[in-house]
Structure 1
Amino acid sequence: MSREFKLLTGRVITLKELRQSATYEGLLEGLPTVEKNKGLIQRLLSDRSLKPYRVDPILLPAVERPIELPPEHSYPFGTPSALPAVTVVARFTSHTPTLSGTGDASGLVVVWFQEQFAFPPAEDIASQLQSLDWERHAGNFEY
């Protein structure tokens, strides 16, 4: 079953694929840091499998939470900070191409972070999805 979203522009997009995973699944020891988080996001966004429409995926702004340590403890491996617990990768399509292109339809992969495994997304994520600049970011394709 697909899920439709109406963008503020009036365009309707349909969720075609949803992947959720634990953000820090591979972190075996230590703390997440600002530096590790940047690397995690860069690797995620450069994943070729997230470019089925020949355009880069977009990242909805993530809120990092500083990890407070007691004043007598320092962390030598960076600035401790955590992204939300769940990484979400969603693939959307629209039945029409973008205004500046040709093709049968258009598509876009959107990445975000949230605290729980769940769908539909939280209200703040849903409002960001509705505000997507589809014309700027989506890629056109033919059936």
Structure 2
Amino acid sequence: MSLSHIALSSGRSIELTELRMSSTYGGFLEGYPWKLVNDMKVSSLQQQAEHAFPSTPVHLVPPAREYPDEAPGGFGPVEVLPSVACIGSFRSTPVAPELDSVLHRSTLTVVWFQNGLDVPPGEDADLALRGIRWQELARDEEV
């Protein structure tokens, strides 16, 4: 049973089968978010996904970065990522048209950031998620 179905911009339907969410800045005790810290957080989340799903390709949806009107600190301007970091396992019908969809499926692990705790909702999912190039990124596997 899937958690959600997302209609990609390409017309393909994908199923979200597992979702891991965490606070982007959970454990951030002092200082402020800035570019280097955020780059490390994004890289770390991608590595977590690769470790958690070693047999599936991992795709990072580049996060939106906001620059609030605050005075820069010692490390440069304040840069804020969306508040929720997500790792999702998706599947769909095979990419290769010659494969039997009963015996094969395509899979992809996706890393993204979002502002709320909602499961990505079908056709209303974020455009960055809906724009995933499934044909190029996913891998076919035998069921």
Q: Secondary structure at the match of 1:46?
A: helix
Give the whole-Å Cα distance in 2 for the aligned partners of 1:30 and 1:7: 38
User: 2:63 maps to what in 1?
Assistant: 62
Q: 1:10 to 1:59 in 2, by over 3 A?
A: same
Q: 1:69 to 1:101 in 2, by over 3 A?
A: farther
* Aligned equivalent of 1:88, options 86, 89, 92: 86
Moved more, 110-119 or 31-40: 110-119
Give the whole-Å Cα distance in 1 for the aligned partners of 2:80 and 2:104: 41
CA offsets per residue over residues 95-130 of structure 1, 9 Å max, x none? x322289672111111221111112359461x3333
Q: CA RMSD in A?
A: 2.6
| % identical equivalent positions | 33
Give the whole-Å Cα distance in 1 for the aligned partners of 2:9 and 2:73: 44
Q: Secondary structure at the match of 1:35?
A: helix
Is 1:128 equivalent to 2:125 in the alignment?
no
TM-score (norm 1): 0.79
Give the whole-Å Cα distance in 2 for the aligned partners of 1:22 and 1:41: 12
User: 2:17 maps to what in 1?
Assistant: 16
User: 1:49 maps to what in 2?
Assistant: 51
1:7 shift after superposition: 2.6
Q: Secondary structure at the match of 1:75?
A: coil
Give the whole-Å Cα distance in 2 for the aligned partners of 1:66 and 1:8: 29
Is 1:99 equivalent to 2:96 in the alignment?
yes
Report if aligned partners of 1:23, 1:84 keep a CA contact under 8 Å in 2.
Answer: yes
* Aligned length in residues: 137
Q: 1:108 to 1:50 in 2, by over 3 A?
A: farther
Give the whole-Å Cα distance in 2 for the aligned partners of 1:135 and 1:52: 20
Q: Secondary structure at the match of 1:81?
A: coil
Give the whole-Å Cα distance in 2 for the aligned partners of 1:124 and 1:8: 10
One-letter identity of the residue aligned with 1:136: E
Q: Secondary structure at the match of 2:45?
A: helix
User: 2:30 maps to what in 1?
Assistant: 29
1:77 shift after superposition: 2.8
